[in-house]
Structure 1
């Protein structure tokens, strides 16, 4: 299997940024048994089998700059091939930031090296309990030239292209296919850290937390070309954020919406479930019916007054015996045999049906929605 066209298209839109050339000097030396003299040194001097040869506070500014460099790339890039895949639309912004940090790093180094020997001496004379510990620090001090070589700030940005060999290109294609999942994993990691601050039980959310969510979504938005799922997720987050105020504390129903959103982003599995629901919702043009559709019962027709036909009693002529016998013969004779010039009397109108009163009528059962009982 060779690399696919869509994977090549993704490679065309990213650059690989490598920060492995940022080196810090640890100021630690291996702790030897003879340095202890039967007593364990304090934690600020020695830990994990190594001993500090200078005050660690002197190195924290270098560590901070390295963290800022990593943050600058992680805010818009995703881990890839030992470095970070950054959109070509963001690469210049990232490079400008790294260049500024590089300048700060070497300015700091220029002020650190001239003071190095003095700071080592200050650390030796810190007032450690045992003389042997002070001697151990002095004898273990790293030469200034090695410190100079150990403090470096470098980075690289380059394009990644598949090789002509099908097998080699397929291995690269697999790495490209995993970029979207890696992006979701990093999103989940950020959301999980927010929940660990007690967000779900705090009762309110600050703009600092919302800014973290906004940065999270900005990263997703900048890498939407990795997958249509990334775009759908980003659109959902943006719609949720758009309904929130941009200043002040958020609470009430809006706070609940934020907690729900962050919770749904806190694991890779929950992100994929959310994306699945979004895809289903966006893939249907039909109006979603309510969970329970209640139909009003059909009202029975209003009872009508029975139509009573008045019978007018009129005097009849006396009936003779011959006439009575004649009528009886006509009643018992077959229908087809009857031929009478006398017109047949009209049949009486059928008795009108009287509607059952409402209180006596049995009501129709309400329609039952699936899973609901009335």
Structure 2
């Protein structure tokens, strides 16, 4: 059964490797940089590095790399040192990467035009250390060769021989758990930023949940328990009024949903319950309960995950056509 699962998943997923190089603007310190100063032997301590350029002038490149990584995290799941992305959205992903790449190359050209000026400004900011910095400068062409933004996309095919397919099979079999773990991290950030301690929120608080929904929907082929969770989220969105603040029972429901998303094991259990015949509507209503307690407590303090976690009896998961 696992072999069929592997083949089915690989029919829908592409492996993407992001390769971004950013010049560090650092050179290794050497004993010669300190003249006659007595230094400890290398076996005892090693020298660090020196900056030959203001790191602030290079910050834009780190920002652009982070944008690319965040975009890939929204669409894909970590896989084989890069990302596994749905083949059906590959064009959309490449378009966004191309846009970021153009900004990266434009920033690179601008930096290289100003390179000599940037280095001289850095030297002026550190009087008394001109020789230390100046002796380590490199040419603009060298810097150009150390900066790049590219990616590679692969269509994977499972090898036929059992002796060589084990590693890939293990990685594919971990994709479901990896996906639920990633959702948990995003949901925890969402809770802390948007829902913790709140008695009302705006519709902006739905944005990270919609991103989670989009990611799960795109990767639903990875695990049969994923699609039921996307249904549960959509039902939650449909229950929220289209205008005004979200508060009261609606906010309590969303807080319960986010609390569920933060717990990978619980999330998988709920997905399985829907596969086993429970409706997403019933599980959504059962996520939270509002006990009769002091009205002075905040909505978030009154959240109780109802009847969870309950031990789940080990059973064969229905493939629902995925294998």
What's the TM-score once normalised by structure 2's chain length? 0.77
Q: 1:152 to 1:186 in 2, by over 3 A?
A: same
Deviation of 1:27 (Å): 1.3
Deviation of 1:254 (Å): 1.1
Q: 1:99-248 counterparts in 2 under 5 A?
A: 99-126=98-125, 128=126, 131=128, 133-197=129-193, 199-248=195-244
CA distance in 2, matches of 1:248, 1:210: 13
Deviation of 1:219 (Å): 0.3
- How many pairs does the alignment contain? 271
Q: 1:1-374 counterparts in 2 under 5 A?
A: 4-19=3-18, 21-31=19-29, 49-126=48-125, 128=126, 131=128, 133-197=129-193, 199-282=195-278
CA contact 1:22–1:66 (8 Å) conserved in 2: yes
CA distance in 2, matches of 1:170, 1:3: 11
Deviation of 1:4 (Å): 1.3
Deviations 1:31-78 (A, max 9, x none): 45776899xxxxxxxxx9433221222112211211121122211111
CA distance in 2, matches of 1:203, 1:276: 32
CA contact 1:205–1:250 (8 Å) conserved in 2: yes
Other-structure match for 1:298? none
What's the TM-score once normalised by structure 1's chain length? 0.67
CA distance in 2, matches of 1:246, 1:221: 22
CA distance in 2, matches of 1:51, 1:267: 44
CA contact 1:76–1:86 (8 Å) conserved in 2: yes
Q: Which moved more, 1:88-97 or 1:201-210?
A: 201-210
Q: Secondary structure at the match of 2:20?
A: coil
Larger of the two Rg values belongs to structure: 1
CA contact 1:27–1:142 (8 Å) conserved in 2: no
Deviation of 1:247 (Å): 4.5
Q: Secondary structure at the match of 2:181?
A: helix
CA distance in 2, matches of 1:249, 1:63: 36
CA distance in 1, matches of 2:279, 2:6: 25
CA contact 1:3–1:169 (8 Å) conserved in 2: no
Deviation of 1:167 (Å): 2.2
Gaps in structure 2 of 5+ consecutive residues: 38-46, 281-323
Q: Secondary structure at the match of 1:245?
A: coil
Deviations 1:233-285 (A, max 9, x none): 1111111122113454322111111111111111323323433443455289x
Q: 1:58 to 1:177 in 2, by over 3 A?
A: same
CA distance in 2, matches of 1:153, 1:260: 41
CA distance in 1, matches of 2:197, 2:210: 21
CA contact 1:163–1:169 (8 Å) conserved in 2: yes
Deviation of 1:148 (Å): 0.5
Q: 1:68 to 1:283 in 2, by over 3 A?
A: closer
CA contact 1:188–1:268 (8 Å) conserved in 2: yes
CA distance in 1, matches of 2:278, 2:151: 42
Q: 1:138 to 1:259 in 2, by over 3 A?
A: same
CA contact 2:29–2:48 (8 Å) conserved in 1: yes
Let me know the Cα RMSD of the aligned residues: 2.6
